[in-house]
Amino acid sequence: MSDLPQISEAEYEVMKIVWKHAPINTNEITEKLLQSTNWSPKTIQTLIKRLVTKGALTYEKQSRVFVYTPLVKESEYICQESNSFLNRYYDGDITAMLSAYIENDKLTEPEIETLRSLLSKRGKKGGD
């Protein structure tokens, strides 16, 4: 998993569109990003090119249009970024991270209940 490319915040915005709508062409990516950003079409095209160069996207030319698909799975990328965050700020200790969130009221009661439920299911799974 460590061979996944490093993606900037702006590139990540492009990837979210591609992950959600792939296969998707340049014009569609641009149209969707123009709705949520103030980037120029040229900036968006530059970001797409960078993602191709980094190996995060691949493309196929269909007549006069480039159609993009991701080479990186969204779940793998998010897992890599989560692990990176955890290692950087909490020395890989998820208990320390969750404790900090709970103690600083960063988790709502429903979120805590969801965590309880997930941990409960995990505990039952391990007992089978």
Residue 68 near residue 25 (C-beta atoms within 8 A): yes
Instruction: Please state the pTM of the whole predicted model.
Output: 0.78
Instruction: Tell me which H or E stretch contains 33.
Output: helix 26-36
Total residue length of the chain: 128
Q: Span 113-120, mean pLDDT?
A: 92
Sign of the C-alpha dihedral computed for residues 58, 60, 61 and 65 taken in this order: negative
pLDDT in tens, 33-89: 999 999 999 999 999 999 999 999 999 999 999 999 999 999 999 999 999 999 999
Q: Contact 41/34 with Cβ under 8 angstroms? A: yes
Contact 101, 107 (CB under 8 A): yes
The CATH number given to 1-90 is 1.10.10.10
The domain limits of the chain are 1-90, 93-128
How open is the CA angle 53-58-60, to the nearest 5 degrees?
Answer: 125
Question: What ranges in 37-127 are assigned the alpha helix state H?
Answer: 41-54, 74-90, 94-103, 109-127
Q: What is the pLDDT of residues 87-100, one digit of tens each?
A: 999 999 989 998 99
Q: What is the pLDDT of residue 63?
A: 93
